[in-house]
């Protein structure tokens, strides 16, 4: 399916869509992080970070903004944008964090991720932010290439607890 054939609609997540988002979030996470990780660590993190109760709690946070990418009425990707104080690492009021940007595997390479990223960049600019940043697993070469292709650059790293391991996430940013 060529990129121009995907008529993606990006809308704020509605409370009644939370169960669907949780399912998509869990599936996209499994697709992205099962390979190269211990199954028990994937399972533990999935149960912690992608439990319905956890996502519902994050949804209630005023400084977090969830947007879903839909093909017709089906959620195929989403992004979670954090302002201070919800940011996970930097806590800079002139920045916006993309805390999550996930696309279901069958839609990778079809422009969905770019549309979600561009949406986040536009959102940051509309809010008067000076830059957008995110963390990406150092072994997620596809995501790193995607972000670099779209103007983000690695500027730091931080430890990321994942089950019984401490992994490294690169911090990437784009300035406006």
| Catalytic positions, written as ranges | 147
Query: Other CB atoms closer than 10 Å to residue 83's CB: what's the count?
Result: 21
Q: Is the dihedral of CA 140, 143, 147, 148 positive or negative?
A: positive
- C-alpha span between 151 and 148 (Å, rounded): 5
Residues 6+ apart with CB under 8 A from 32: 102, 105, 140, 143
Query: Other CB atoms closer than 10 Å to residue 115's CB: what's the count?
Result: 19
- C-alpha span between 36 and 32 (Å, rounded): 10
Place of tokens 């957008």: 132
């Amino acid at each position: 399916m060529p990129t121009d054939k995907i008529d993606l609609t990006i809308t704020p997540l509605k409370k009644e869509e939370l169960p669907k988002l949780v399912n998509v979030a869990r599936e996209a996470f499994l697709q992205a992080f099962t390979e190269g990780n211990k199954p028990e660590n994937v399972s533990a993190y999935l149960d912690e970070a992608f439990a319905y109760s956890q996502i519902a709690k994050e949804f209630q946070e005023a400084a977090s903004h969830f947007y879903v990418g839909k093909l017709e009425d089906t959620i195929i990707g989403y992004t979670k944008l954090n302002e201070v104080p919800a940011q996970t690492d930097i806590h800079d009021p002139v920045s916006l964090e993309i805390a999550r940007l996930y696309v279901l595997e069958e839609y990778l390479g079809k422009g969905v991720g770019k549309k979600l990223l561009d949406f986040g960049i536009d959102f940051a600019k509309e809010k008067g932010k000076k830059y957008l940043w995110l963390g990406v697993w150092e072994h997620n070469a596809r995501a790193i290439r995607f972000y670099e292709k779209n103007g983000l650059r690695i500027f730091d790293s931080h430890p990321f607890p994942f089950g019984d391991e401490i992994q490294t996430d690169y911090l990437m940013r784009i300035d406006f």
